[in-house]
Chain A
Amino acid sequence: MRRLRGKLAPYLLSLPSWVYLIVFFIIPLASMLGMALAVGDPLSGYTISDNFQEFVTGFTSYEDAFARSFWYGTASTVITLAVAYPVAYWIAFYGGRHKSTYLFLIMLPFFVSFVIRVLAWEFILSDQGFVLGPLKAIGLLPQNFHVLSTQWAVIGGLVYNSFAYYVLPLYVVLEKIDRRLVRAANDLYASPSTAFMKIILPLSAPGVFAGFLLVFVTNVGDFVNAALLGGPGTYMIGNIIQDSFFENQDYPMAAALSSILMLMLMIAILLYSKAFGTEAIQEYAA
C-alpha cells in the first residue's frame, strides 16, 4: 500500500497543474488552429473545414509585417545582448560586495507597469517634449526632426524593455565561472582578450542563448512598443493580429496569423531545446 502510494505520488502531485495546462494552454492552441481553419462569420457561427486558404492569404498579405517583426526582433535582441553583456560582466567580475545593489537597480523597471515604461519613452521622445523641444528651439535639430514613429523608436523601446531580462541570465552564468580558470589562462600567457574569447565567452554561452531565445520570442510578438512609439509604417504582426480580432472581427484571419507566428517561433524553440535543453531557460526564468 505504501509502495503503491509512493509510485502514484508524483502523478497525483502533478495532476492539478497538468489539468490546468491542458485545458488552458494546450487546448487553446488547438482551438486557435481550429479557428484558423473555420469558415463563417461572427453572426451565423463557424464550422471547421479543411480550408487552409486563410494561412496562405494571411501569410502573403502580411508578409511585410512578418518580415518587420522578425527584423525588429532580431535587431533589438542583438542590441540588447551587446549592451547587457558588458554590464553583466562588470557586475559579476568587478561588482564586489555591491553586486546585488547593482542588480536591484537594473531590475527597478520591473516595478513599473510595462505600458507605463513605454508611455514614458513616448513622452521623452515626443516631437515637442522636454528633450527634443529645447534642442529644436536652440536650432541644434531641424524643426521636422522626429524620433517617434521611426523603426528605431520601436527597436529602442524593445531594447529598453528587454535589457533587465537579458542582464539576469548573463549575470547568472558569468557569476558561476571559476575565476581560477581565468588566472590559469593568464599564467599561461594568454592575453586578456584571448582569455575572454577562449574561457569566459564559451562558458557564458548558455546564458547568451537562453537570454537570446526569451528576448527574441518576446520581442517578435510584441505590439505595444510599435503601437505607442511607432507609426503606420512600423506595424508588427502583433498589431495586425490585434486589429484582425478587434477592429475587423475577422477571427479566422487573426487565428491563422497567430498560428503562423506560433509555428515559426515553435520551430525556433524546438531547435533551441534540442540543441541546449530546457533546464537553462527554467533556471533563468526563476
Chain B
Amino acid sequence: MSATISPLPSVHKPSRLGERILACFTWAMIIYTMLPIGVMVVFSFNYAPAGRIALNWLHFTFANYRDAFGIQDLTGALIHSLEVAVGSAVISSIIGTPLALALARYRFWGKSATDLVIFADIAAPAVVVGASLLSLFLALNLPRGLLTIFIAHVAFNLAFAVVVIRARVSGLDRALDRAAADLGATPWVAFWTVTFPLILPGIIGACMLCFLLSIDDLIITSFVAGQTLTFPLWVYGAVKVGMPPQVFVLSTFIFLGGMALALVNVAVTHRREAAA
C-alpha cells in the first residue's frame, strides 16, 4: 500500500492477494524485458565457430571481445552511427531550443499549427517518414549517403528535442529573467546568464534522447542510406548470411555506454537540484 493512504476504515480491505499477484506479474514482465538483453550479453561470451554466432551455448571465451573491432565494415558502420547520432542530437537541440522557448513563453499566431506539426512529426509512422524523404531525395537527385541520413535524423529528432526542452522551460520561474531585465540586462544577456544555465539540463536531456533515438533507428535510415551503412543497417543486412559475434559485443558496448550516459544525467540533475 502506498504511504499516502492510511488504513482504510471501510468494509473493503485492500486485497493483499491482488497486490501480491500484481507484484509477481510486474517482476515477471521485468524479467521478460531483460531476457533478450541477457541473451545478448551472455552470447557475446560464447565460442563462435567459423565466426558466426552459435544458437546454443558452447563454451565461455573472451575471443569475441579481443576481436571486437575485427570486422572493418561493422566498425565503420558503428562509427557512422555515432557520427550521425552526435551530430543530429546537437543540431536538433540547437534548432529546437528557440522553438521550445517560443512555445513555452509566447502566445503567437500559428502556435497551434506549430503544435500540430510537432505532434505529427512525433506520431508519423517511420515508414512514411522514410519513404517521403527518399521521394524528396530522388526528386532532387540528391545522392544518398551520410548527409541524407543526417538530414533524416534531424527531421525526426527535432520534434522530440522541442518537446523535452519545452517541458524544462515551462517549469522555469519567469520572475528570474524579469529580475534580470529590471537590473538592466538586455534580453540577449539575460538569456545567456539566466535562462540558458537553467534550461541546460533540459537541453542535455534532449541531446541524450536524440542520441539514443538516432543510434537506434533502422526503419527511416534504411530508406535514405543508399550504400552507406549504419550499425543497425549492417546488422539487418547480415541476418540472411549469419551473424558474427562482434555484433553482440559491440551492442553490449552500446548498451553499457547508453546506461552510463543515463546514470550520469540522473546524477548531474540530482546534484543541480540539490544545489539549487
* A residues in contact (CB < 8 Å) with B: 5, 9-18, 20-21, 24-29, 31-32, 34-35, 83, 86-87, 89-91, 93-94, 96, 102, 105-106, 108-117, 119-124, 126, 128-130, 133, 160, 163-164, 179, 182-183, 186-187, 189-192, 213-214, 217-218, 220-224, 227-228, 237-238, 241-242, 245, 251, 254-255, 258, 261-262, 265, 269, 273, 278-279, 281-283, 285-286
Instruction: Tell me the minimal C-beta distance from A68 to chain B in angstroms.
Output: 14
Whether B12 contacts A282 by the Cβ 8 Å rule is no
B108's closest neighbor in chain A, by CB? Answer: A10
- A-facing mask of B10-23, CB < 8 A → 1, else 0? 11101100110011
Please list 26 pairs of residues, one from A and one from B, whose beta carbons are closer than 8 Å in the complex, sorted by A's number. A10-B108, A16-B95, A20-B154, A21-B158, A24-B136, A24-B155, A29-B132, A87-B25, A87-B26, A87-B29, A106-B30, A110-B258, A112-B254, A115-B232, A117-B37, A123-B55, A130-B55, A164-B33, A179-B2, A187-B10, A192-B15, A214-B122, A223-B127, A224-B218, A279-B115, A283-B163
In-complex Cβ contact of B215 among A113, A117, A192, A251 (8 A): A113
- Max chain A CB contacts within 10 Å: which of B57, B236, B258? B236
In-complex Cβ contact of A269 among B57, B120, B155, B236 (8 A): B120
**B4 CB contacts on chain A under 8 angstroms:** 179
**A86 CB contacts on chain B under 8 angstroms:** 22, 25-26
A219's closest neighbor in chain B, by CB? Answer: B125
Whether B218 contacts A115 by the Cβ 8 Å rule is yes
Q: Is B151 engaged at the interface, CB distance under 8 Å to the other chain?
A: yes
**A269 CB contacts on chain B under 8 angstroms:** 120, 123
Q: Which of B66-74, B97-105, B172-180, B192-200 forms part of the interface with chain A?
A: B97-105
**B129 CB contacts on chain A under 8 angstroms:** 25, 28
A121's closest neighbor in chain B, by CB? Answer: B36
Whether B131 contacts A116 by the Cβ 8 Å rule is no
**A32 CB contacts on chain B under 8 angstroms:** 128, 131-132, 135-136
**B119 CB contacts on chain A under 8 angstroms:** 273, 278, 281-282
Q: Is B61 engaged at the interface, CB distance under 8 Å to the other chain?
A: no
**B75 CB contacts on chain A under 8 angstroms:** none
Whether A21 contacts B33 by the Cβ 8 Å rule is no
Whether A251 contacts B37 by the Cβ 8 Å rule is no
Instruction: Tell me the minimal C-beta distance from A152 to chain B in angstroms.
Output: 15
In-complex Cβ contact of B163 among A128, A221, A282 (8 A): A282
Task: State in angstroms the CA–CA spacing of A14 and B113 once bound together.
Answer: 12
A224's closest neighbor in chain B, by CB? Answer: B218
Q: Is B63 engaged at the interface, CB distance under 8 Å to the other chain?
A: no
Task: State in angstroms the CA–CA spacing of A122 and B243 once bound together.
Answer: 12
Q: Is B3 engaged at the interface, CB distance under 8 Å to the other chain?
A: yes
Instruction: Tell me the minimal C-beta distance from A4 to chain B in angstroms.
Output: 13
In-complex Cβ contact of B36 among A109, A214, A251 (8 A): A109
Known: A102-B30, A224-B236. A238 touches B40 (CB 8 A): no
**A29 CB contacts on chain B under 8 angstroms:** 128, 132
Whether A286 contacts B40 by the Cβ 8 Å rule is no
Instruction: Tell me the minimal C-beta distance from A66 to chain B in angstroms.
Output: 12
**B8 CB contacts on chain A under 8 angstroms:** 183, 186-187
Whether A112 contacts B251 by the Cβ 8 Å rule is yes
Interface SS of chain A: helix
Known: A17-B96, A119-B235. A35 touches B135 (CB 8 A): yes
Task: State in angstroms the CA–CA spacing of A104 and B151 once bound together.
Answer: 31
Instruction: Tell me the minimal C-beta distance from A242 to chain B in angstroms.
Output: 7
Task: State in angstroms the CA–CA spacing of A138 and B39 once bound together.
Answer: 23
Task: State in angstroms the CA–CA spacing of A223 and B30 once bound together.
Answer: 25
Whether A113 contacts B39 by the Cβ 8 Å rule is no
Instruction: Tell me the minimal C-beta distance from B275 to chain A in angstroms.
Output: 20
Whether A126 contacts B95 by the Cβ 8 Å rule is no
Q: A35-B139, A179-B4 are in contact. List 13 more A-B contacts (CB 8 A).
A: A10-B106, A24-B136, A25-B121, A27-B136, A32-B128, A91-B26, A105-B30, A106-B29, A113-B251, A115-B218, A123-B53, A163-B29, A227-B239
Q: Is B47 engaged at the interface, CB distance under 8 Å to the other chain?
A: no
A-contacting residues, B226-276, CB 8 Å:
231-232, 235-236, 239, 243, 247-248, 251, 254-255, 258-259, 262
Whether B33 contacts A282 by the Cβ 8 Å rule is no
Task: State in angstroms the CA–CA spacing of A113 and B22 once bound together.
Answer: 29
**A190 CB contacts on chain B under 8 angstroms:** 12
Whether B29 contacts A25 by the Cβ 8 Å rule is no
Whether A96 contacts B163 by the Cβ 8 Å rule is no
**A14 CB contacts on chain B under 8 angstroms:** 98-99, 102-103, 108, 110, 114
Task: State in angstroms the CA–CA spacing of A36 and B248 once bound together.
Answer: 40
Whether B122 contacts A281 by the Cβ 8 Å rule is yes
Whether B99 contacts A278 by the Cβ 8 Å rule is no
Q: Is B189 engaged at the interface, CB distance under 8 Å to the other chain?
A: no
